[in-house]
Structure formats: C-alpha cells, structure tokens
Amino acid sequence: MQTQFHELPAASAGTTRRLRSLHFGRAETGRKAYLQAALHADEVPPMLVAQALAERLAALDTAGAIAGEIVLVPMANPIGLAQDLQGTAFGRFDLATGVNFNRQFRHLTPALAPLVEPLLCADADANTRTIRAASRGLLAAWQPATETEALKRLLQTLAMDADLVLDLHCDNQAVVHLYTGTPQADAFAPLAGYLGAQALLHSEVSGDEPFDEAAARIWWELAERFAGRFAVDPLACLAATVELRGETEVSQELAEHDADALVAFLRFGGHIAGTPPPVPPACAATPLEGVEPVTALTSGIVVFAKAPGDWVEAGEPVAEIVDPLTDVRTALLASVSGRCFARTARRYATRGMRLMKIAGATAYRSGKLLSL
Ligand SMILES: [Zn+2]
C-alpha cells in the first residue's frame, strides 16, 4: 500500500488542509477502483467503513490479491469537516458559497466530444484510454478559483480513470440505498444485494452534477453520440453513490458488515482475486423520477407514522404535523406506493420542508431530482 497526501491551496493566510489517498495493488494494469468517504463531511458512517475497508484491502494487498489498483480516500472533505457552527456539524454545504459539496463537479462531455472525435477508432479499449487521457487534460486545465474547487478537481481527477467509482455517504435516518445512472442500474444489483440495500435508484441525469454522475455519464453520452461510428464502452466507468444508513449509525459491527460487502462487490467485479460470495437477492431498481419527497404542507411538530424500511401504500398516512399555534393536526399521506428509505432527523417542519423519501416504481417527476 502506498499513501499519498494531497494539500489544498490555502483559503486564508495561515491555514492548510490536506487529505489522504491510499493506493492498494499496482497501477500498471490500468484496472482501477476508486472509493471515497464523507464528501458530505457530516456523514460519519462511511468514514468508519473506510477504516474497516482499508484494513481488509491492506491484508489483500499483502497477499497479492488485488488485481490492478484500488484507491481509497477515507476522508474526502477536510473543508466541510472543519465547519462546526456552535456545536452543530455543517458538512453538506460550503459555507463560503452555499454550494453543496456533492454538486457542480465538471460535466466533461461537451468539451470531450470534439477533442476525442478525431482520435477515436474501432477499438473500444483504445478509445477508453483516449477518452481518459483527454479527460485528464481537461481536469488539469481547470484552474480552481477556491479551495473547494481545488478539492473537487482533486477528487474528480483521482476517480476519472477508474472502472468503478463508489462515493460513500449516509442520509439523516435511513436504510442502505444506492443512486446510480440508469444504464448501469443492473450492474449495481449485486452491490445492493451484498449491502442489503432497500432501494436502488437510477436516473440518466439527476441534476447539478454530483460526483458519481460526473465520473460515469461521459461514457454513455459519448457512446450514444458516436454510435455507429466509433466503439465507446457506455459502461467504462460504473459509478454509484452509496448511502450507508442514517447519520448516527456508526458502529464497528455495521462498519465491518459494510466493508465485507464492499470487498465482496470488488471481488465480483474482478478488482480482487478469488470467488465472490453468492449474491443475495437485491431490491428492485426504481427510477429516481419515481421517488416521492413527502413534503410538509404546513409547519409544525412532525410525528412520523412510518420509518425507513417500512413499505408504504399510496394514500396511507406517513406523518402527522401538529401546529403548536392552533393545535390543528394535519395528516400527510403518501401519494405513491413503495419503500420508505429515508426521512429527516428533524421533528419540527417549516412549510415546504421535505420529510421523507419513498421509492415509487413509476417515474413522475422531472427536472432536478436530488434534495438540496
Ligand atoms: Zn451525502
């Protein structure tokens, strides 16, 4: 294993921040998996999972069992991690700009297409290498204006040439669930099975360029653009956001379970030598456009009737809102049937607040599909 430290450009005089990438196996083969934890810095469960995963990967590396390279960033966001506001962790948004740390990565397709067009050929592997080299050049040319942009460029560069990218997060209160691109939803069914995920959500474009999508969508977009002319593998980079339950579900037992599941999936994908364990049955993949973000229609105290993991029928009450000014109680009803996979940790709602997510099977939303 090799450890690299990456220093970010100081946002202010007298400060420096750095992060660490762990490199297991050998880079020469070109085969690569990339995993990072806690891009949303207040999401602690993935950071402990990364500890357990690093131990396993180090042992596998010593045994010569890592095929190619596996890169792990156990703490992906030192900027957000330091944003502690009078006792409350604030790791989701950059305080300087208000921008979500998992948005506004570079969408490279528009710049890549004209750059690679004269270089592509009939050999899909050669085209993968060409597109990765061009992506590297585009990211190298990105002049970050801020410390946060420099972080985003660094993370995207570390992941850009990987065959598999897993961005490890968690929700407020949740069961394990995954987000990925529609063309690769099937490819992540085994990971959903190993992790025991209860929702596998997919979309072509979820909006605002989250990390996993920036890594993966260039491939199916370029494959579509050059269809019939050049061979481009639409799945050259499989990428997913993995939500490891709720924000306080930090335990050694869960971390070991999740690290074992990730190792099983890495083995399934050929990143680790050996036979993978049998894949447990996975939840069905459902469109992100089918997720109902149950929204508070009035303000008040939130009393949930459903918890993450519960099945919900359309028309069933999922929560009651109690107005402390008028004593009026308002039932919130689900409008779709599906698995409740996440809910807010707050128990007072302002009007319009999103309280719960239900994975409906039928697409009905459009536009920007992710929460803020
Ligand atoms: Zn997150």
Number of domains in the chain: 2
For ligand 1, the distance from its centroid to the CA atom of residue 153, given in whole angstroms, is 18
C-alpha–C-alpha distance, residues 142 and 139, integer Å: 5
For ligand 1, the distance from its centroid to the CA atom of residue 38, given in whole angstroms, is 7
**Domain end marker among 240, 264, 283:** 283
Q: How many helices (H) and strands (E) does the chain have?
A: 8, 20
Q: Which residue type occupies 335? A: S
pLDDT digits (tens, 9 = 90+) for 65-122: 999 999 999 999 999 999 999 999 999 999 999 999 999 999 999 999 999 999 999 9
For ligand 1, the distance from its centroid to the CA atom of residue 66, given in whole angstroms, is 28
pLDDT digits (tens, 9 = 90+) for 295-329: 999 999 999 999 999 999 999 999 999 999 999 99
For ligand 1, the distance from its centroid to the CA atom of residue 325, given in whole angstroms, is 34
**Domain end marker among 258, 283, 308:** 283
For ligand 1, the distance from its centroid to the CA atom of residue 250, given in whole angstroms, is 15
Kindly state whether residue 365 falls inside one of the protein's structural domains.
no
Question: Does 202 share its domain with 329?
Answer: no
For ligand 1, the distance from its centroid to the CA atom of residue 54, given in whole angstroms, is 21
Domain that residue 91 falls in: 2-283
DSSP-derived secondary structure letter, 92: S
Residue 189 has pLDDT above 90, yes or no: yes
Half-sphere exposure of 27 (CA within 13 A, CB side): 9
For ligand 1, the distance from its centroid to the CA atom of residue 45, given in whole angstroms, is 11
Residue 372 has pLDDT above 80, yes or no: no
C-alpha–C-alpha distance, residues 20 and 32, integer Å: 17
Average pLDDT over residues 135-146: 97
For ligand 1, the distance from its centroid to the CA atom of residue 59, given in whole angstroms, is 29
Q: What residues does the ion ligand 1 have nearby, CB within 5 Å?
A: 40, 43, 169
Per-residue pLDDT, 370: 83
Question: Does 100 share its domain with 167?
Answer: yes
Kindly state whether residue 370 falls inside one of the protein's structural domains.
no
For ligand 1, the distance from its centroid to the CA atom of residue 68, given in whole angstroms, is 28
Per-residue pLDDT, 371: 79
pLDDT digits (tens, 9 = 90+) for 7-20: 999 999 999 999 99
For ligand 1, the distance from its centroid to the CA atom of residue 157, given in whole angstroms, is 20
DSSP codes, 73-86 = ES---HHHHT-EET
Contact between 165 and 179 under an 8 Å Cβ cutoff? The reply is: no
Q: Of 341, 186, 358, whose CA–CA distance to 279 is shortest?
A: 186
DSSP, collapsed to helix, strand or coil, labels residue 281 as: coil
For ligand 1, the distance from its centroid to the CA atom of residue 96, given in whole angstroms, is 19
What CATH number does the domain containing 223 carry? 3.40.630.10
Contact between 166 and 194 under an 8 Å Cβ cutoff? The reply is: no
**Domain end marker among 239, 259, 283:** 283
For ligand 1, the distance from its centroid to the CA atom of residue 93, given in whole angstroms, is 10
Question: Does 162 share its domain with 228?
Answer: yes
- Chain-centre distance of CA 321, in angstroms? 31
For ligand 1, the distance from its centroid to the CA atom of residue 362, given in whole angstroms, is 24
For ligand 1, the distance from its centroid to the CA atom of residue 186, given in whole angstroms, is 22
For ligand 1, the distance from its centroid to the CA atom of residue 75, given in whole angstroms, is 13
Q: How confident is the model at residue 367 (pLDDT cuts 50, 70, 90)?
A: confident
124-141 vs 211-225: helix crossing angle, rounded to 10: 130
pTM of the model: 0.97
